[in-house]
Chain A
Amino acid sequence: MVGAITFINLAWLVPVFPLLGFLIIGFSGKGLMHNMAGIIGSSTILLSFLYTATLFFVMKSSGQDSATITLFNWIAIGSMNIPFAFLIDHLSLTMMLVITGVGTLIHIYSIGYMHHDERVNTFFAQMNLFTFSMLLLVMGANYLVLFIGWEGVGLCSYLLIGFWFKNPAYNYAARKAFIINRIGDLGFILGIILLFFTFKTVTFSEVFAQAASFPTGTTVITLITILLLVGAVGKSAQIPLFTWLPDAMAGPTPVSALIHAATMVTAGIYMIARSSILYNLAPITLNIIIGIGLATALMAAIIGLKQNDIKKVLAYSTVSQLGYMFLALGLGAYSTAVFHVTTHAFFKALLFLGAGSVIHAMGGEQDIMKMGGLKSKMPITYWTFLAATLAISGIPPFSGFFSKDLILNKAFEHNIILYILALGGALITCFYMFRLLYLVFFGEQRLTNAHPHESPQAMTIPLIVLAVLSVFGGFLNVPSLFGGNSNFGSFLQSATTSLSMEEMSHSTETILILVSLALLGLVIYFAYSTFVTRSSVPKADSEPMSFFGKVVYNKFYIDEIYDALFEKPLGFLSDFFFNKVENAVLDPAVDGIGTLTARFGTLVRKLQQGNMSFYLFAMVAGILLFIIFILII
């Protein structure tokens, strides 16, 4: 038992491993032997994973629900006491497992994928730094430590998006990601401050304990939750701050898999789930979340229909899935959201890695118009990709089915229109995913000068492992309809408090599942007939499109609108301030005082005419004026 406590208390080692990895790789620079960086990078994460896994069982066996590990007092002034502490409970454990588990696989995959890159060391260093930050984020015992990780992952995301920094467009994308995240972060930090002034603490346990005494709908809680939500919207790429995520695909594909699909973008969901007690007190905020989530899910899915870049499709799909998670959060189904985070991590990471494998094989080509017929050339990639596609489309018994079905059910319980919209989104998702699958792997190879080949083992093995997880991951949380007992949900029960809702009857549930399955089947068939039977290929960019097609293809012109609304005015304002205010008003005003005085000085100087008569006159005039002066006064 003492051993167990020591083991738990040493949980701070989990983030320290990747940190060490980062430091070792970072400081050894080019001195590392080939592949060493990858091996160090992967093994540190693996260590973390093993530690976390052990921790999971230790905690389970010792019956401890949560543990707080305080390292030192970070900021302690006045009544503000913010320790640098970690909180290990079921929620963070889940997230830690996902991060280190998926992280290990992606690291291993990267060894193969980044094999040829000359800056592979930098890559692994930054990936490790990311893992460290992400672990900090989920393990932090208070909002401020969470915020460290929050910003840290933003930084790593910035670095990794701009990994190939010679390309200005990539740099721009990286900057955009960071800045949009920062906008969210401002809301987040203000939320934390308001939280601090409300509760006099930012430590989770203390805040939640006090929150119990607040009645539902208290303004200050609503305000806090909205401010925190702004942060989550930024980090999890929801409307209106989602535009950075598609651009973030500029980074190497493993980055997209790890950061922009599996882990970082789910930070917002994690944070809201963590603060479930507060959100439960703020129904207004929950409704906002529902709106945001649903709108994002639909909009991103629609945009996904028309994208030709394999990673862009996946990126919009990610945004869309994040929207679903938000929907779940808004419905008060926090554990469901986290469950979807988990399954999504599996299949979306798999999709990205598969896409990476394809890109790798195609020599860097990302346009699906130019692919096709890869099924036979890359069997492992194909089969794993297929598994992931089925999972994301929600075909039973793949993992996505369980998580998405839960969300749909919750939506149905809440409101039928919600359900219909959410289901529509799911169908669109299914369509564009199969469109992708068919265009890439079926038909004829359209690019003649490429010689696709299966990827090396370092890449395929993670694919296989992830495929297994994508297929069977859903069984973590088998609903009672299928004779399960929702293990996952009840596991998180101690860390998040979902809003209680009446359970729907099994018959309704069955009907809903059947309806959605039928529709999904139709959609898959339709996609098959379009892209395989008729083997139609998406139009090239230059060809004319219908109005709607054009709008969708151009992502509803959101980027352009933002450009016109924020970037251009900011640039204009900057020029205006500098040229018209600073250099035309303020500076001349100050200089003007000097110039004016100097002018006056010249006048005084010129008064000194050198002419005797004038001096005599001046003197007499002066005397006369003084006489008049003293006589008047």
Chain B
Amino acid sequence: MGRPVWYLFGSTDLTTPSILAPTIAAFQTLSYTARVAARLGAKFFVPLNQGLAYTMASDIVREAYLAENKLEDFDPLKTVMYLPAGADRMYIINHMWEEQVAGAFFLGSWYHEAVIYTENAAREGAVMLGGTDTTHNIPFLVAICDYSVIGEELYALGAYVSQDVLQSSSLAGQDVGKYFAIIAILTGAVLVTAGISLSWLFALGW
């Protein structure tokens, strides 16, 4: 008992759209997780390595604690913490040992840190949930974590835990997109095999 739960984001550079999207998706899950952690009185810790992401996460966790009337458990300097990008690696490894992390979430845009953190958390016997949409490090999250979400599932996770009907129904919309992609590929491949060039379709100037 008393061992903490960590929520890690990986890379959180919000000026980069391809990193921003998974980070925002992970924020929605953070909101839910922080609330559960506050309700159960678990020690919760969120280190981040980018200023704007830090301000967002700090708001989210604070609001979650407020919603559960546990604001006294929220330490503005400790629960959510900014660490300069790069230095967070040493901090996290050292403190995973020291605090014997019991549970860890690895959601967001993950780069090389994924394997360091997951392996260290595994050594502490932590239960891990990992998920990212970066293709570079998803293998480690899949192989090492107890539970993993792959690619698009990361975006669905946030909508799913929100229990908002409209948000969940947007997932069905995404499925329509996938059916469209599959049909487009199949018809396109058949047409190309038949010798019909489709390059005009993609030369619309965009």
The answer to whether A and B come from one shared complex is no
